[in-house]
A and B are shown apart, each in its own frame.
Chain A
């Protein structure tokens, strides 16, 4: 039931782009994206709800393909501050119970 994230890790140079994928074997109602810095709590990035919408947050955006049960997080013109572990959390219904993927570790180098 845990969503699968890919890649597991990625290293970028500052200014490069990255895509992180999240796929589920179950029908999804919502997908959440969070970023966690080492030793800190995860911080909310965005929510995508059933309906195939795409959302943006500064230079970070995401899409949700309900039919394929997949979501992708797009990081454009990466900054050093983007480094951290990105988690997708999936909800099968509106109960607000999220199951998180194992995370994608992103390192942005100067």
Chain B
């Protein structure tokens, strides 16, 4: 069966520090991969999505970037965090035969 792993679960970082969040999917090949962000009490904002290695679309201009070094690995990065980057970050995947999104357990990021 397919599983999605996301880490770390919580992260507290100072303003201006770098960021790296990792997400991996097991049990499927060539998944569509997504990064969403959720501000406290708010909806889900699509940040990046990828339909394959080296095929990443950015939905919101900001100081975040995403990379997909392997088929089932998706990384969210920043060189310098801002206070506004705080939030709950969710990785998700979907397959080619279904549009259903499977979410990871999320990373609660606090930038202080």
Q: Which residues of A contact B (CB under 8 A)?
A: 2, 30, 32, 34, 39-44, 47, 87, 89, 91, 94-103
Stretch from B14-22, B62-70, B71-79, B100-108 contacting the other chain: B100-108
On whether the beta carbons of B43 and A102 are closer than 8 Å, the reply is yes
Q: When A and B form their complex, what is the total count of cross-chain residue pairs whose Cβ atoms lie within 8 Å?
A: 55
- Contact of A98 with B46 at beta-carbon distance under 8 Å, contacts A32-B99, A41-B104, A44-B101 already known: yes
CA of A99 to CA of B43, assembled, Å: 10
CA of A91 to CA of B101, assembled, Å: 12
Q: Residue A34 contacts which of B42, B98, B101 (CB distance < 8 angstroms)?
A: B101
List chain A residues, Cβ under 8 A from B100.
Answer: 32, 44, 47
Contact with A along B32-66 (1 / 0, CB 8 A): 10001000001111100101000001010000000
Interface of A is mostly: loop
Known: A87-B44, A100-B43, A102-B43. 16 other contacts (CB 8 A): A32-B99, A32-B101, A39-B108, A40-B106, A41-B103, A41-B104, A42-B44, A43-B103, A44-B101, A44-B102, A47-B98, A47-B100, A91-B99, A96-B99, A100-B46, A101-B43
